[in-house]
């Protein structure tokens, strides 16, 4: 049984606490938040669980094995560092830290102390992303051509980070998980309209072997859209995360080009075959992920969404920021 202290009970924290409560392998030992209103909500929802407004109480407690850091990004580094220094494993929200230098320091500290860092890249534990990874690993899609994602809605405006740091980590972590090669360069454009941080942004990421990814993130969209297109040489798929059934549709469509007789003659043939919707697991992603966190601690496994995975995402975020500042200049990674 892994005893967890959860710091941060705002918007996302209650989901972490609820899922930890639902697992046999974990117990929520204490919930901490600086806000009295958040603590009152926690006490109402979980009357049997201890609460505190002082993170040090959890970070120093001998009755706690792991700390879940569910606070705003700028607080991640300090809280995670203290947790690791006190011998606690860390489950930490995305994006991992505010800078890649902070992430590198935490990774080194965790390795020295033989502790686990798991970065909450929740989407990797959804049935949809697991199915997409299976389809790419089995070669069903063939060589990948592109990943194109639309992740837009109205808000939720964050105070400390731009829409890129808020929403793009989802796609960047998914790309890292399924494309499985290091990106080469990034071009990003975006604009600030309301509170001094970008609220609309477009990222293009270049991978080896002509694989290209595009992400559109937007807090100023009148409608919520979560649609990703993934094109491969053999098959193409559309993932609509907002529908209950047939979240993923795989199309047997493609294009083949052969040279004709003359130099300028191209023979283009289009293939339009069947469409099918593979079965997608419906379990709650956080349930699967937190169970995996406990399993990694108990069985001394290195999670695939470890500090290094969090760092790879941070490097892409930092490159995107540099590119935006230079109005879309190509930034090599
Ligand atoms: N994985 C996901 O899909 C997902 C979804 C939403 C948010 N998040 C991440 O979760 C984190 C929190 O986001 P949120 O939307 O819940 O933010 P939020 O502002 O709603 O909640 C954060 C809470 O942390 C508390 N807090 C801040 N600093 C603290 C400290 N030093 N000690 C104790 N409590 C402190 C605040 O009082 C607040 O209640 C962010 O990193 C965000 O990116 C992840």
Q: Which helix (H) or strand (E) element contains residue 288?
A: helix 285-298
Q: Which residue's alpha carbon is at the smallest distance from atom 40 of ligand 1?
A: 72
How far apart CA 185 and CA 207 sit, in angstroms, is 7
How far apart CA 265 and CA 261 sit, in angstroms, is 6
Q: Which residue's alpha carbon is at the smallest distance from atom 5 of ligand 1?
A: 12
The pick from 33, 60, 71, 167 for probing ligand 1's pocket by mutation, whose C-beta has the most ligand atoms within 8 angstroms, reads 71
158 lines ligand 1 (CB under 6 A): no
Structure tokens belonging to residue 113? 């102390």
| Ligand 1 centroid to residue 64 C-alpha, Å | 20
- For ligand 1, what atom is nearest to the CA of residue 10? 21
Note down pLDDT in tens along the chain; length 333 residues.
999 999 999 999 999 999 999 999 999 999 999 999 999 999 999 999 999 999 999 999 999 999 999 999 999 999 999 999 999 999 999 999 999 999 999 999 999 999 999 999 999 999 999 999 999 999 999 999 999 999 999 988 888 899 999 999 999 999 999 998 999 999 999 999 999 999 999 999 999 999 999 999 999 999 999 999 999 999 999 999 999 999 999 999 999 888 767 767 778 899 999 999 999 999 999 999 999 999 999 999 999 999 999 999 999 999 999 999 999 999 999
**pTM of the predicted structure, to 2 decimals:** 0.96
| Ligand 1 centroid to residue 179 C-alpha, Å | 29
């Amino acid at each position: 049984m892994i005893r967890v202290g959860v710091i941060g009970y705002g918007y996302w924290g209650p989901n972490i606490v609820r899922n930890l409560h639902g697992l046999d392998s974990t117990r929520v030992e204490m919930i901490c938040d600086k806000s009295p209103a958040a603590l009152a909500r926690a006490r109402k929802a979980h009357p049997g669980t201890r609460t505190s407004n002082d993170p040090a109480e959890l970070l120093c407690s001998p009755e706690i094995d792991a700390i879940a850091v569910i606070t705003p990004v700028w607080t991640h580094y300090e809280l995670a560092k203290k947790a690791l220094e006190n011998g606690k494993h860390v489950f930490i929200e995305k994006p991992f830290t505010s800078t890649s230098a902070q992430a590198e320091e935490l990774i080194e500290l965790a390795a020295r102390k033989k502790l686990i860092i798991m970065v909450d890249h929740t989407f990797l534990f959804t049935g949809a992303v697991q199915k997409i990874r299976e389809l790419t690993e089995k070669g069903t899609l063939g060589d990948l051509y592109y990943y194109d994602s639309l992740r837009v809605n109205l808000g939720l405006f964050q105070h400390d980070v731009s829409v890129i740091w808020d929403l793009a980590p989802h796609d960047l972590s998914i790309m890292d998980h399924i494309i499985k090669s290091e990106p080469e360069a990034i071009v990003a454009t975006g604009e600030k309209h309301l509170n001094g941080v970008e609220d609309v942004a477009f990222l293009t990421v270049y991978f080896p072997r002509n694989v290209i990814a595009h992400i559109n993130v937007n807090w100023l969209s009148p409608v919520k859209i979560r649609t990703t297109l993934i094109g491969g040489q053999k098959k193409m798929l559309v993932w609509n995360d907002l529908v209950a059934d047939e979240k993923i549709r795989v199309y047997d469509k493609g294009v083949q080009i052969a040279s004709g007789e003359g130099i300028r003659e191209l023979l283009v043939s289009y293939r339009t075959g069947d469409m099918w919707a593979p079965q997608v697991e419906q379990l709650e992603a956080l349930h699967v992920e937190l169970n995996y966190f406990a399993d990694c601690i108990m069985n001394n496994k290195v999670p695939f969404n470890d500090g290094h995975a969090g760092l790879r995402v941070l490097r892409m975020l930092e490159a995107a920021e540099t590119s935006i500042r230079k109005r879309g200049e190509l930034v090599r990674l």
